Amino acid sequence: MLKRIAVKDIKLGMFICEFCGSWMEHPFWKTRFLLEDEKDLRAILASGIKELWIDASQGLDVSTDITGKTEAEVEHETDALLLEAEQPGNSERVALDDEIKSAARLCNRAKETVIEMFSDVRMGKAIEVAKARELVDEISSSVLRQPHALISLARLKSVDEYTFLHSVAVCALMIALARQLNLDEDAVRDAGMAGLLHDIGKVGIPLKVLNKPGKLTDEEFAIVKSHPELGAKILIENYQVPPMVLDVCLHHHEKVDGTGYPFGLKGDTISLFAKMGAVCDVYDAITSNRPYKKGWSPADSIRKMAEWSKGHFDEAVFQAFVKTVGIYPTGSLVRLESGRLAVVIEQNDASLLLPKVKIFFSAKTKMPIIQEVLDLAKLQGKDKIIGRESPDDWGFKNLDLLWSGMA
Ligand code: C2E
Ligand code: SIN
Ligand code: FE
């Protein structure tokens, strides 16, 4: 049985499954192992990790006077946190189907523009700010028509195009989040620009480090950690860049509990825009395949972020983000009460729990079924989502075809 316990309660003989919170701080590459070595125990205690998961069926349990949290309890707490975002909205958008083709074209063009921008900067040229603005405006219009088309497409990226499409994705997410927070259109545009440029400092990090297939050494991570300041330096030299864009570039790795970098800023000493940047950055990073780690499904990612949200993110900003992408974001694999598996194809403004889904598989017979779109909001409870599922567990490889119509 899995239990989440405080780090002070660990003992030799426990089986460790996962470290909670900032995974960069943990000194181990593999996170599932039987804790037998006194040295490992000391390293964990010294690491700054606050909580971890143990599996009491594979190792020692906590003693009975200590209350670990069971998986069900943590699920329950996370549910409660996510459900606070559940609230009707009222925007008018076009269907995902109607936006997907033009969003795909825009995504390709945006990628090319970002590649050029990064290579200009690498060669010491100025950023073409007007061109970047034009791109941000186009992304902004697509997101206004239908936020989930571009956001979901930009999530699907190969390892080589990660840095460029990550900039596009964070741009689109920042725009959608800024609108969710009711910021004015000028601020929305600046937020998009900030998303596009937040990682520009990565041009100064050796590709050998960025594309390393495994975990970084402390020295390598120290190099990576210089990218916010490198980026800020580049943007200061391009003085048509709005101050807020600079702010996000410099502070998108700060965390509200003060454990982030470069300055270890705490709480409200971090600006709203930098807090937005932190959430959008992490969501797109963990949902993407990177050289060092396979992406998590969007619904799993939202839940992971909810679990970590207390120390890392601003609560109000995270809530708004959940409203923006959904509790079951587009592309999530879900199981319905009827036993059918479905992919979420479109969000419903009236309820985050009742999206439009496409059924395609029976979990009972383990066979494909005739595909059909169900609008859960219109079924009046006749069928509903009972949980998320892992595509890997089912061996589904082309799930994204089901919502995007393209591979
Ligand atoms: P961060 O932890 O500050 O990492 C910043 C960047 O360092 C990453 O950007 C990536 O380019 C590089 N990096 C970090 N760890 C490794 C590694 O083990 N190997 C290699 N080759 N590169 C590494 P990226 O990927 O865009 O991630 C952005 C942020 O998303 C991270 O900032 C972190 O806050 C969050 N994040 C990403 N993956 C995870 C994860 O698995 N768990 C948690 N808790 N957070 C994650
Ligand atoms: C399907 O059965 O239509 C999709 C399966 C897959 O994603 O591989
Ligand atoms: Fe970054």
How confident is the model over 161-186, as a mean pLDDT?
Answer: 96
Residue 313 C-alpha to ligand 1 middle, in angstroms?
Answer: 15
- Answer yes or no: is the C-beta of 216 below 6 A from any ligand 1 atom: yes
Mutate to test the pocket of ligand 2, among 341, 361, 366 (most ligand atoms within 8 A of CB): 361
Identify the pLDDT of residue 73: 83
Q: Report whether 180 contacts 134 (CB < 8 A).
A: no
- Answer yes or no: is the C-beta of 367 below 6 A from any ligand 2 atom: no
Mutate to test the pocket of ligand 2, among 343, 370, 397 (most ligand atoms within 8 A of CB): 397
d(CA 376, CA 379): 5
- Please provide the average confidence, as pLDDT, over all residues in the chain: 89
- Run of H or E residues at 52: strand 51-55
Task: Compute φ and ψ for 377, nearest 5 degrees.
Answer: -65, -25
Ligand 2, atom 5, residue with closest C-alpha: 396
Residue 397 C-alpha to ligand 2 middle, in angstroms?
Answer: 6
Is the pLDDT confidence value at 24 over 70? no
- Taking the CA of 296 as reference, the closest ligand is 1
How confident is the model over 313-321, as a mean pLDDT?
Answer: 95
For residues 152, 281, 73 and 63, what is the CA-based torsion angle, rounded to 10 degrees? 140
Ligand 1, atom 34, residue with closest C-alpha: 282
Identify the pLDDT of residue 21: 61
d(CA 280, CA 263): 20
Mutate to test the pocket of ligand 1, among 286, 294, 318 (most ligand atoms within 8 A of CB): 286
- Answer yes or no: is the C-beta of 254 below 6 A from any ligand 1 atom: no
Nearest alpha-carbon partner for 386 in 352, 359, 346, 353:
353
- Answer yes or no: is the C-beta of 398 below 6 A from any ligand 2 atom: yes
Identify the pLDDT of residue 51: 82
Is the pLDDT confidence value at 248 over 80? yes
Look at residue 326 and give its three-state secondary structure: coil
- Answer yes or no: is the C-beta of 292 below 6 A from any ligand 1 atom: yes
CA dihedral over 407, 156, 200, 322, signed as positive or negative: positive
- Answer yes or no: is the C-beta of 403 below 6 A from any ligand 2 atom: no
- For 178-219, the pLDDT digits (tens) are 999 999 999 999 999 999 999 999 999 999 999 999 899 999
Lowest mean pLDDT across 282-296, 372-386, 391-405: 391-405
d(CA 116, CA 317): 32
Identify the pLDDT of residue 28: 55
Ligand 1, atom 21, residue with closest C-alpha: 212
Identify the pLDDT of residue 101: 92
Instruction: Give the chain's length.
Output: 407
Tokens found for residue 407: 């591979």
Looking at per-residue pLDDT, the higher value among 64 and 332 belongs to 332
Residue 253 C-alpha to ligand 3 middle, in angstroms?
Answer: 6
Is the pLDDT confidence value at 266 over 80? yes
d(CA 237, CA 104): 33
Ligand 1, atom 36, residue with closest C-alpha: 282
Identify the pLDDT of residue 407: 44
HSE at residue 284, side-chain half, CA atoms within 13 A, is: 30
Q: Which ligand 2 atom sits closest to the C-alpha of 368?
A: 2
Is the pLDDT confidence value at 111 over 50? yes
Residue type, 401: L
- Answer yes or no: is the C-beta of 397 below 6 A from any ligand 2 atom: yes
Contact residues for 106 (Cβ-Cβ < 8 A; gap 6+): 138, 139, 142, 150
Most confident of 31-35, 118-122, 194-198: 194-198
Is the pLDDT confidence value at 88 over 80? no
Identify the pLDDT of residue 90: 52
Is the pLDDT confidence value at 22 over 70? no
d(CA 43, CA 32): 15
Q: Report whether 357 contacts 337 (CB < 8 A).
A: no
User: Strand 385-388 relative to strand 333-336: parallel, antiparallel, unpaired?
Assistant: antiparallel
Q: Which ligand 2 atom sits closest to the C-alpha of 397?
A: 8
DSSP 150-206: HHHHHH---STTHHHHHHHHHHHHHHHHHHHTT--HHHHHHHHHHHHHTTGGGGGS-
Angle at 204 between CA 129 and CA 104, to 5 degrees: 50
Q: Report whether 151 contacts 326 (CB < 8 A).
A: no
Q: Report whether 174 contacts 183 (CB < 8 A).
A: no
Ligand 1, atom 23, residue with closest C-alpha: 216
Question: Within 10 Å of residue 206's Cβ, how many Cβ atoms?
Answer: 11
How confident is the model over 149-170, as a mean pLDDT?
Answer: 93
Question: Within 10 Å of residue 92's Cβ, how many Cβ atoms?
Answer: 6
Question: Within 10 Å of residue 303's Cβ, how many Cβ atoms?
Answer: 20
Look at residue 125 and give its three-state secondary structure: coil
Sheet order of strands, 340-348 included: 367-375, 351-362, 340-348, 333-336, 385-388
d(CA 201, CA 127): 13
Ligand 1, atom 19, residue with closest C-alpha: 215
d(CA 139, CA 146): 11
Tokens found for residue 105: 């074209």
Provide Rg for the chain, Cα atoms: 22
Token match 């927070």: residue?
Answer: 181
How confident is the model over 284-304, as a mean pLDDT?
Answer: 92
Nearest alpha-carbon partner for 89 in 336, 307, 355, 280:
355
Residue 88 C-alpha to ligand 1 middle, in angstroms?
Answer: 34
How confident is the model over 284-290, as a mean pLDDT?
Answer: 94
Is the pLDDT confidence value at 5 over 80? yes
d(CA 254, CA 155): 23
- Answer yes or no: is the C-beta of 182 below 6 A from any ligand 2 atom: no
The b-or-e profile of 172-197 (16+ CB within 10 A means b, else e) is: bbbbbbbbbbebeeebbbbbbbbbbb
- Answer yes or no: is the C-beta of 23 below 6 A from any ligand 1 atom: yes
Token match 């479109």: residue?
Answer: 346
How confident is the model over 92-120, as a mean pLDDT?
Answer: 91
Confidence of residue 107 (pLDDT cuts 50, 70, 90): very high
Q: Which ligand 1 atom sits closest to the C-alpha of 293?
A: 41
Residue 213 C-alpha to ligand 1 middle, in angstroms?
Answer: 12
Tokens found for residue 82: 């996510």
Mutate to test the pocket of ligand 1, among 219, 282, 303 (most ligand atoms within 8 A of CB): 282
